[in-house]
Structure 1
Amino acid sequence: MTCRVIKSLLAGACAALPMMMTSFSVEAHEVEKKNYVLVIHGGAGTILKKNMTDEREAAIRAKLEEALRTGQAILDRGGEAVDAVAATINVMEDSPLFNAGKGAVFTHEGRNEMDASIMDGRDLNAGAVAGVTHVRNPINLAREVMTHSKHVMLAGAGAEEFAKAQDIKLVDASYFYTENRWKQLERARKKDKTMLDHDGDQKSDKIAELGYDPEDPDQKFGTVGAAALDMHGNLAAGTSTGGMTNKRWNRIGDSPVIGAGTYADNNSCALSATGHGEYFIRAAVAHSVCAMMEYKGVSLQEAADAIVMNKLVKMGGDGGIIAVDKDGNISMTFNTEGMYRGYIKGHDAPVIGIYKD
């Protein structure tokens, strides 16, 4: 082999080296980007194993896993956190097992009035709807408010007029009717007590405050929510609810209130709350957790404990939160006997919980 040939081969090899190194760097970066996280809830309250049938528990666990798998599929192909949050919540809104969408509870007048909110941690953009009665998936309408309007929250008839303009699916009010929810309303009317969707097995002196009907065989169904970190490092969160059984005067809780029931900021965390809404509004729970992280430099779990396990408890508020921070750490913190919850990280199997275990 001549010197000229050898020099030519060496030159070719050296020229290819930077390309090989660049290719390897990109592949390594792609592996690092796969660290996505999704965490969800289906309501918190006095959820006790003794009050749960095996069939009901299996159905709840299966639906929570379906919701997680739906969001996982989006995140795994590089989808955005906001897409995963909305799709995940859709699964729970379409199930009568939870007080959101199809399973929404009835107001005192016998209507279904639903609330929802969503927030994008990239730019703090947010959208919310309150008191809608014909929107099959309120979280989808909240997202349209966020992306296709100059507003943050729309309510009632105006929100549904906007829904029509955005081709959001509307349904007849009969779609939301379920026998179980109607019976809950009848019992609540009979007792003339106001019941919260978020709470469970309480005795007579707590029925009005915490919303548990001791004659209800299903014990507990609640607000739904999701928070996600996508592989691009962006956070998002959303919450959807049917509100309070037997509520009056178009009461609105924390679920559609940005900073109370939902919050997301790439500088800290994404969070969805469930519980006694009036307390969560007063304590600005969702924003408070994220703000503690950003301004005090504490961990997600420290912030969650400070707000949910300390401040809320002192105020008398029951409930919990699910959250994920910018580094992929999660929190599923609640001060009740249980919370329907679950999370999934990357390709790992989903982890689901119901009771305080």
Structure 2
Amino acid sequence: MKKLFLILASFLVLISCKNESEFSLKQNISNVKKSKFAIIIHGGAGTILKKNMSDEKEAAYKAKLEEAIKVGHTILKNGGTSTAAVMRTIQVMEESPLFNAGKGAVFTHEETNELDASFMDGKTLNAGAVAGVTNVKSPIELAIKVMTDSDHVMLSGKGASVFAKEKGLEIVDPNYFYTERRFKSLQRIKNRNKTELDHDDKKAAFYDADIKNEKFGTVGCVALDKEGNIAAGTSTGGMTNKRWGRIGDAPIIGSGTYANNLTCGVSSTGWGEYFIRTQVAYDISAQMEYQQKTLKEATKDVIQNKLTKLGGTGGVVALDKNGNMSFEFNTAGMYRASMNDKGQLIVKIYKE
């Protein structure tokens, strides 16, 4: 009996050593400094298929993603802060009609544009966000200003606009956000819904494929600067045909955006209601902090397991304190790009 006990004890010791060895190896791998600075972006996720994309449109998206990320990369390369890199990178996408943010924002049911954005500083864990903004040219700049120049984290609607004016941010006529493409998308959705309701169809197509693609055009960026500080930001026009002042995950810290120098920075894009319920961005950081998971392990679990099981769709871009990067999404595609301190550029659209 004593001999059997000694054999069992030895076996348990061997298993324990093996697990500790594997854990240490994983920790050593994840703690290797891969980049002194890095940047990663997304321009939305959804049913993005090669067969539905013209060569001209694909080239336009890739060119704008490259332009945006190079702006942020240059700031980081020259010793600038991750905050500045995230803001300027997102502003390039906000000023493009290609993405569902800023100039390219989708329309609400009332045929207006309501913009949301958020930002978080991984060093201080301070954050700022805005929701339902209608006349501020750069929602991401306003979100950062809320963080730096107020005692609050989130401002909404008219109050956010008043704050923007007081802080000297650029105010535009709401018509600035009008694009024919987005307006026609709204009309198609309204007409389809009306037709279905006229036929007593109880399954109104509020979440049909067209709507899903339009609402997944959110833009986001995560950057790591030379000082080791991580920042993350997200900006969006929300969901086509949204009503009643609907707010998604983009302006919610922990859902659409999260940054912590101890772990990582995350920006989300997808079906916001699910990202809010699962606290996607924070969950990734928490798994790294409390379960010692690598960035890739955490993003994969949250997106491919937790989010998918609930029925949520979308993805994230994430960057950890050592420059490791992750593009994780459960849709057919996601507009995305990354650059490291060696200047290696990756620009992709479709799932591989």
Report the TM-score when normalising by structure 1.
0.85
Q: Does 1:309 align with 2:304?
A: yes
What's 1:232 paired with?
A: 227
Structure 2's unaligned 5+ residue stretches are 1-32, 195-202
Contact 1:34/1:76 (<8 A) preserved: no
Q: Deviations along 1:234-264, whole A, 9 cap, x unmatched? A: 1000000000111100100000000000000
Q: Does 1:270 align with 2:271?
A: no
Contact 2:232/2:258 (<8 A) preserved: yes
Q: In 2, Cα distance between the equivalents of 1:212 and 1:136?
A: 26
Structure 1's unaligned 5+ residue stretches are 1-31, 194-204
Contact 1:97/1:221 (<8 A) preserved: no
Greater Rg, structure 1 or structure 2?
1
Q: Does 1:297 align with 2:298?
A: no
Q: Deviations along 1:60-103, whole A, 9 cap, x unmatched? A: 00000000100011000111111100100000000000000000
> After the TM superposition, which parts of structure 1 deviate over 3 Å for at least 4 consecutive aligned residues?
218-221
Contact 1:39/1:228 (<8 A) preserved: yes
Distance 1:86 1:206, change over 3 A: farther
What's 1:61 paired with?
A: 62
What's 1:331 paired with?
A: 326
Q: In 2, Cα distance between the equivalents of 1:221 and 1:291?
A: 25
Q: Give secondary structure in 2 for the equivalent of 1:208.
A: coil
Q: Give secondary structure in 2 for the equivalent of 1:92.
A: helix
1:188 is displaced (CA, Å) by: 1.2
Contact 1:47/1:219 (<8 A) preserved: no
Contact 2:216/2:271 (<8 A) preserved: no
1:14-25 matches, within 5 Å, as none
Distance 1:107 1:213, change over 3 A: closer
Counterpart residue identity of residue 184, structure 2: K
What's 1:152 paired with?
A: 153
Q: In 2, Cα distance between the equivalents of 1:72 and 1:206?
A: 44
Counterpart residue identity of residue 89, structure 1: I
What's 2:130 paired with?
A: 129
What's 2:338 paired with?
A: 343
Q: Deviations along 1:97-118, whole A, 9 cap, x unmatched? A: 0000000010000100000000
Q: In 2, Cα distance between the equivalents of 1:148 and 1:51?
A: 44
Q: Give secondary structure in 1 for the equivalent of 2:118.
A: strand
Contact 1:321/1:332 (<8 A) preserved: yes
Distance 1:184 1:38, change over 3 A: same
Q: Deviations along 1:129-153, whole A, 9 cap, x unmatched? A: 0000001110000000000000000
Contact 2:215/2:239 (<8 A) preserved: no
Contact 1:116/1:239 (<8 A) preserved: yes
Query: Could you say what the CA RMSD is over the residues aligned between the two structures, in angstroms?
Result: 1.8
Q: Does 1:38 align with 2:39?
A: yes
What's 2:207 paired with?
A: 209
Contact 1:136/1:169 (<8 A) preserved: yes
1:346 is displaced (CA, Å) by: 1.3
Contact 1:98/1:221 (<8 A) preserved: no
Q: In 1, Cα distance between the equivalents of 2:350 and 2:173?
A: 36
Contact 2:215/2:271 (<8 A) preserved: no
Counterpart residue identity of residue 108, structure 1: H
The alignment of Structure 1 onto Structure 2 pairs a total of residues equal to: 312
Contact 1:130/1:256 (<8 A) preserved: yes
Q: Does 1:259 align with 2:260?
A: no
1:348 is displaced (CA, Å) by: 1.8
Distance 1:219 1:139, change over 3 A: closer
Q: In 2, Cα distance between the equivalents of 1:177 and 1:124?
A: 35
Q: Give secondary structure in 2 for the equivalent of 1:41.
A: strand
1:171 is displaced (CA, Å) by: 0.2
Contact 2:192/2:205 (<8 A) preserved: no
Q: Give secondary structure in 2 for the equivalent of 1:339.
A: strand
Contact 1:210/1:276 (<8 A) preserved: no
Report the TM-score when normalising by structure 2.
0.86
1:209 is displaced (CA, Å) by: 2.8
Q: Does 1:175 align with 2:176?
A: yes
Of 314, 317, 324, the residue aligned with 1:319 is: 314
Q: In 2, Cα distance between the equivalents of 1:70 and 1:36?
A: 14
Q: In 1, Cα distance between the equivalents of 2:35 and 2:216?
A: 33
Q: In 1, Cα distance between the equivalents of 2:162 and 2:290?
A: 40
Q: In 2, Cα distance between the equivalents of 1:125 and 1:92?
A: 24
Contact 1:124/1:264 (<8 A) preserved: yes
